[in-house]
Structure 1
């Protein structure tokens, strides 16, 4: 095998011949020459000897970012841009380092809750994180079986921990894994802690570790799975309000942890007729029986085969959760005839339906006040705001993408008056027990809604239609454009700059009336005048069309190598009574918007 000097020379020649990017070379040199990366040296040398330049560029072209809630990406045995023992270890060590620097840390016993899902290496990475936290003086509360992300959020609060770590990559492909990092609130990291922790993670040189089994034997790692389960289910049960339970349900965990959370919740709430869809029941990081092996409940295609089963068995509702059970997707028959046509309900529509259901039940129970509020993000439908207003409930909606902002708003305003939180990407929460979206409680609420509507002779789709007539037809669209690798990152940056400096003047046939730049925190009108934008800074641009309720947003994903384009269309109630015509009109408007956006993007990055 070649030596290090020969390997670096070969890598430099690969850069000269455009087989390797310059940033990849710099990171590759560090991993070949620095002591902290010594365990990976032999494998890297072997890759260089084999001329595996594309793979080396993929795993070294950047340092995997510590983004929306932690580090997420493809697993590979080595590399600065991959999930492996080193990058996971840096994440845990950086978190520990920052907490140890806090003024009150020396005076107390620090603790951390850790959980993991069904992905490949999740248990291994969870043990690694535990061994690092113990080595840094933390007690670790360990959920020793597959558990849901909201249960980890709850465990942090329940055990009064200083932080938490969830090993999961949510709904990403089987190749991926990640850590989500939580603060003492049970919510994902918010400013100013987020940037400070990122700094510690990125500058970690030494990773302290102890042996996991020895730490377990010494009581430094405490198994608390059953204790946390019992307390978590008791908290969720507070929202199992009295009402009908006659709904036949099919539940799919999509090969994830959902059955460990959703089934006990529904059983405790009194739902007797719940079938776990057999082909998705096995916990498996390969997600073998879902389209594309991606267990994303936002994807309507995952429901196709389950709908066939539901039509055969006379089910009233299909619910599905993603691998770490923090998101809900669902499908329902268009009428109460289960053997007839079915359709999925998107994340915005679920959020509006559940906002309506929760507000109506809490109003009925005398639980609403003039201080009551719901929370949504900027890219979540305004239908939620209008529904909440009909109950006299305020909507906090000037929030960036990510449920951590919803959780932060709960704590900033006061959780006592919090009614419901919702985001367009199928995340929902009620109550004060957690500070992250919860697929289990969302399944409970949707099941109760289904049963209540069935008792009234209505389908879920018919209730949604009534809301659209009452509040106006809202139709949203989402376009994801993958931009992988160093070239993709350059395209992303170029595209975001273009939307800021020279945005399209017209979209879908309508003039762009204003551009909201959340990076410079300015609003620029069509006449060139500007004014301050009241918001927190973020890498997002929103374009308001010269038509009420119609706008567009663009932002790079915080967890995946892609740019997300959000489109929002709206017709007022007077134009929404004929739902078929309203839907067709807005579908055409969305198609026109998407056409113009794709054309603009192609022109920028060509």
Structure 2
């Protein structure tokens, strides 16, 4: 029987030569000092011994750019967990080591937190991405070795189903193996607490500390744990219970609408189609070119399965126009986000248009609140939840219906989940975020693409029965509450140089922000990291800012409802600029004129934002 050769010892001549080459590469500026420091750890510390030969091979081949990419930092926990490009080695890559230490850090903290007072359990699920099943088994083996029972969804399943499973099975934690809508090169783990929400303070910091200090990854044997009952398959049980819980959130009304649905090569079909059928929708067709589960996302433009990208709807819309569908919907690979396209008029063969995440947020908010009001379910404690970078149109809709809006939240659905439990889930009506995430009901603590599909289908059927298009319905909201138009700019800044550029850019917005954008004067700057609000004038005044603490800056313009938010992404190497514009109701009666005016305004603001960013990072 063959055995793997022992890796080179840390004090061997080969390792010492490699370390000298690393030092020389730093001096020649072929790699950064951060990369060199992490490479030294992987070459000399025993916890990385199984990866040592691979690191040595990369050094022998002088793959300095690749080494810098995968070692320049330690991959962080972002808004939902640990996410990045997969590669066999590297502290800044997704591989067996970084996934394993993530699971180990979680397991160690859960055991320590409960102090052996109860039997512990963890729910685990995975999506269609490359190596998702492999990483799932790795995480399960780590949990079992720590004495934590694993409840496994043993097929491709949605992130909200994992959130639901944690709550339904009363688990102590949960792991979802997915990189959501990222490119095929990526994977990740999302880590959940017993609430069914992604981990929040103080648990997140304690888990991260455990991950960073992890010396040994202890693993059981997956097949043996299955035989022993330490790993239990619960796919069918959770499917049935999830369907019951999500369908209980439906509203009565017409169901005569033809739906074309795309899972974008992800997990969505197993959650969305049964739910729509349970809700009474008989004409649901899955778009065949996007049906096959595949981590390559082969038939999606750019191979990026993101329903925020209108290009993913182009081919489905072609089929919908020819075959007379009323609605096209798509969910991302782990089915927690929803995108929608619909005819501009009641003519399904005519022009179609997609909706932004903010527009869907408003459409579903008005639908849910209308239905809730009709059913007498709105009282003075009722509330909706949104993030700081989600359209204020949702707040105006909630206020008009007599509901509160909890909206002073950082980006990340975990903060919406936290608000639900703080404010009381019994009074929760609806939660949304601009990145196409929506939820009703208290069965889960994460956004749910399946239940959002159900609500959108109900709305489409109700509008069809009235002879109205979804776009006309949105226009009515604009005329009632003022025309709201938003845009998102993503500026990618990869690698160590990108991180330095991001820091420089955020510093510029804090210390020397622009005085105007798009010809509109900036009134004040809200800095959520430093908890200050500063007026922009010849004599600036700074006052304390109440709100959450995070790396977010909002620049408010003199005209109410017009502002720009800036934040580094928590999941990808980029800075996000959120542009918000608004006209009052009186200026919004001519929808075409209002749309043109705000499109011009957004274009002017975007040009100024890009110019400011370009100057600030050069």
TM-score (norm 2): 0.97
Query: Bigger shift: 190-199 or 438-447?
Result: 190-199
Matched, 1:57 2:68: yes
Structure 1 residues 280-333: Cα deviation after superposition (integer angstroms, max 9, x where no partner): 000000000001100000000000111100000000000000000000001000
Q: 2:492 pairs with 471, 474, 482, which one?
A: 482
**3-state secondary structure, aligned to 1:411:** helix
Q: Distance in 1 between matches of 2:554 and 2:117?
A: 46
Q: Distance in 2 between matches of 1:22 and 1:287?
A: 36
Q: CA deviation at 1:16?
A: 1.4
Q: Distance in 1 between matches of 2:202 and 2:533?
A: 25
The aligned counterpart of 1:298 is: 308
Q: CA deviation at 1:369?
A: 1.3
The aligned counterpart of 1:126 is: 136
Q: 1:547 pairs with 550, 559, 565, which one?
A: 559
The aligned counterpart of 2:601 is: 589
The aligned counterpart of 1:173 is: 183
The aligned counterpart of 1:500 is: 510
The aligned counterpart of 1:74 is: 85
Matched, 1:94 2:105: yes
**3-state secondary structure, aligned to 1:3:** helix
The aligned counterpart of 1:574 is: 586
Query: Bigger shift: 487-496 or 387-396?
Result: 387-396
Structure 1 residues 106-126: Cα deviation after superposition (integer angstroms, max 9, x where no partner): 110011000000000001101
Q: Distance in 1 between matches of 2:500 and 2:583?
A: 37
The aligned counterpart of 2:25 is: 14
The aligned counterpart of 1:491 is: 501
Structure 1 residues 313-364: Cα deviation after superposition (integer angstroms, max 9, x where no partner): 0000000000000000010000110000000011000010000000111111
Q: Distance in 2 between matches of 1:178 and 1:41?
A: 23
Runs of 4+ in structure 1 deviating by more than 4 angstroms, as ranges, are: none
Q: CA deviation at 1:382?
A: 0.4
TM-score (norm 1): 0.99
The aligned counterpart of 1:146 is: 156
Matched, 1:562 2:574: yes
Q: 1:114 pairs with 118, 121, 124, which one?
A: 124
Q: Distance in 2 between matches of 1:483 and 1:87?
A: 22
Q: Distance in 2 between matches of 1:161 and 1:277?
A: 35
**3-state secondary structure, aligned to 1:101:** helix
The aligned counterpart of 2:37 is: 26
Matches within 5 A, 1:229-378: 229-378=239-388
Q: Distance in 2 between matches of 1:505 and 1:110?
A: 55
Q: CA deviation at 1:241?
A: 2.1
Structure 1 residues 70-127: Cα deviation after superposition (integer angstroms, max 9, x where no partner): 100000001000000000011111111111221x431100110000000000011011
Q: Distance in 2 between matches of 1:421 and 1:284?
A: 30
Q: 1:427 pairs with 413, 437, 458, which one?
A: 437
Structure 1 residues 425-452: Cα deviation after superposition (integer angstroms, max 9, x where no partner): 0000000000000000000000000000
Q: Distance in 2 between matches of 1:472 and 1:595?
A: 24
Q: CA deviation at 1:584?
A: 0.6
Structure 2 unmatched runs, 5+: 1-7
Matched, 1:531 2:543: yes
Q: Distance in 2 between matches of 1:14 and 1:576?
A: 60
Matches within 5 A, 1:154-233: 154-233=164-243
Structure 1 unmatched runs, 5+: none
Matched, 1:37 2:48: yes
Structure 1 residues 139-179: Cα deviation after superposition (integer angstroms, max 9, x where no partner): 11000000000000000000000000000000000000000
The aligned counterpart of 1:602 is: 614
Query: Bigger shift: 520-529 or 344-353?
Result: 520-529
Structure 1 residues 456-503: Cα deviation after superposition (integer angstroms, max 9, x where no partner): 000100100000000000000110000000000000001111111111
**3-state secondary structure, aligned to 1:543:** strand
Give me the CA root mean square deviation: 0.9
Q: Distance in 2 between matches of 1:409 and 1:174?
A: 33
**3-state secondary structure, aligned to 2:458:** helix
The aligned counterpart of 1:470 is: 480
Q: Distance in 1 between matches of 2:386 and 2:292?
A: 33
